[in-house]
Chain A
Amino acid sequence: MIQHHPSDQHLLALASGQLDSGRGFVLAAHVERCGACRRRSREFLELGGELLRTGDPVSLGAEAFAQTLQRIEADRAPVAAAAPAAPPAGFPRDALPLLPARLLAGCSAEPWRWIGPGMRCSMIGVPHAARASVFLLKIAPGRTLPRHSHGGTEFTQVLHGAFHDGRSRFDAGDFDETDAQVTHQPVVTDEAECICLAYLDAPLRFEGWIARTAARWTGFRH
């Protein structure tokens, strides 16, 4: 049972095309797995259509209809069917089945990289997203992450396992959104390792010099 969902504001931004690609990718990974959020997203498409149909019109140029007919005339060539997407390169094998295949076309990833005891990370190259803003994180059972705050927005979609951070418990399928106001210290539950998909638009701020040093190695900054 999914307990934590994205806000309506973010689902609307995704549905109306306003959201940047990095955040959209992590949000869509949640929507793909969550029937309730698919329904909400659909409602925002329906509402967008209704606002379009009933909104105030703005006149087009006198030649607009003729120009549109010319566009239609211009493309007589049959449109080739899109080539099937190549399987994404380099994804860690244990994470690949946890991500929706539909989203992976055009993405790339690196193998797991050690970033600290019991912590591994894999940067994901997402089309049109800022470099080093989307990544996978794998944390061993029972492991505590360094306490940190956020320079900007963090989106986290739990793909496997669970963690709690003092505010709440987040299980597989749950979505978490934090901003600069939140300082937290996620602790992975003892039952299983935890794999998350995350988006960061600014570096995390770790407390303590060891954590800050580790942060320099993690690539959690760009």
Chain B
Amino acid sequence: MGMHVVLRTPAIAIQPRPRRGGGRGAPVLAMVNAADPRPEELAALVGAVAQGRDRAAFAALFRVLAPRIKGFLMRAGADAATAEDLAQETLAQLWRKAGDFDPARAAVGTWVFTIARNLWIDQHRRATAGAAQQQRGAWLADLADCDAADDGAAPLLGEQRRERVHAVLASLPAEQAEAVRLAYFSEVTHARIAATLGIPLGTVKSRIRLGLAALRQRLEGIEL
């Protein structure tokens, strides 16, 4: 196996195209289903970006992830222009930091979620700078800040962890799963949902509490 030297030049356009069909991980690309991106496909694409600065892999990740980041941030309270800007910046950071991604530690979704969230906190601070309102904190900036190294159990791979929360969410009754989703979204989104369903905002909030309680019960039931 030859030594693989990764040039750290960030410019995509001047990168030589990676040799196709040769090394591991190269040909996963482009066929990724944008409607339902498979987690393992996403991980392979990030690996191709990290190892080969693979433009086609990056384009595929962009096509799949950027619209989902934008949608997520809009439900979390960002306006469309801000959400689009942050989605672009998240993908730019994905290109820059692809070498840091470790599939043993986290699923791609989890990793991208923390990047987008940190950018959203920064943006929120810039937008509220000088205003009297309290600003948001990024005290769990990184996955490493919540590694539970002392719990004695064998660590799960990122993909196994993702499957676990996915299975738990899927096992909840639809209304409770929806309530858990809402916990990630803004008051504005809550108010819109309350108006759509014709229920008071307080009812939405108590549904969120009940949804989280049900989630907790099931998470405790599936051992790490």
Cross-chain pair count, CB within 8 angstroms: 217
Q: A24-B136, A28-B140, A128-B136 are in contact. Are A65 and B183 (CB under 8 A)?
A: no
**Residue A101 is within 8 A (CB to CB) of chain B in the complex:** no
In the assembled complex, the Cα of A56 lies from the Cα of B74 at a distance in Å of 11
A65-76: contact bitstring with B at CB < 8 Å (1 yes, 0 no)? 101110111011
Rounded to whole Å, the gap between the CB of A87 and the closest CB of chain B is 19
Interface of A is mostly: helix
Q: Give the B interface residue count (CB, 8 A).
A: 81
Q: A9-B209, A46-B161, A76-B11 are in contact. Are A19 and B148 (CB under 8 A)?
A: no
**Residue A213 is within 8 A (CB to CB) of chain B in the complex:** no
**Residue B106 is within 8 A (CB to CB) of chain A in the complex:** yes
Q: Which residues of A contact B74 (CB under 8 A)?
A: 58
Interface of B is mostly: helix
Flag if B166 contacts A15 (CB, 8 Å): no
Q: Which residues of A contact B48 (CB under 8 A)?
A: none
**Residue A81 is within 8 A (CB to CB) of chain B in the complex:** no
Flag if B125 contacts A8 (CB, 8 Å): no
Q: A53-B68, A64-B88 are in contact. Are A48 and B117 (CB under 8 A)?
A: yes
Q: A12-B183, A17-B118, A55-B71 are in contact. Are A24 and B137 (CB under 8 A)?
A: yes
**Residue B107 is within 8 A (CB to CB) of chain A in the complex:** yes
Q: A9-B209, A21-B135, A47-B169 are in contact. Are A59 and B143 (CB under 8 A)?
A: no
Extra contacts, 14 of them, besides A38-B147, A51-B181, A57-B70 (Cβ < 8 A), are A16-B76, A17-B118, A43-B219, A49-B109, A49-B113, A50-B169, A52-B116, A53-B37, A58-B71, A59-B70, A60-B67, A60-B84, A64-B88, A69-B12
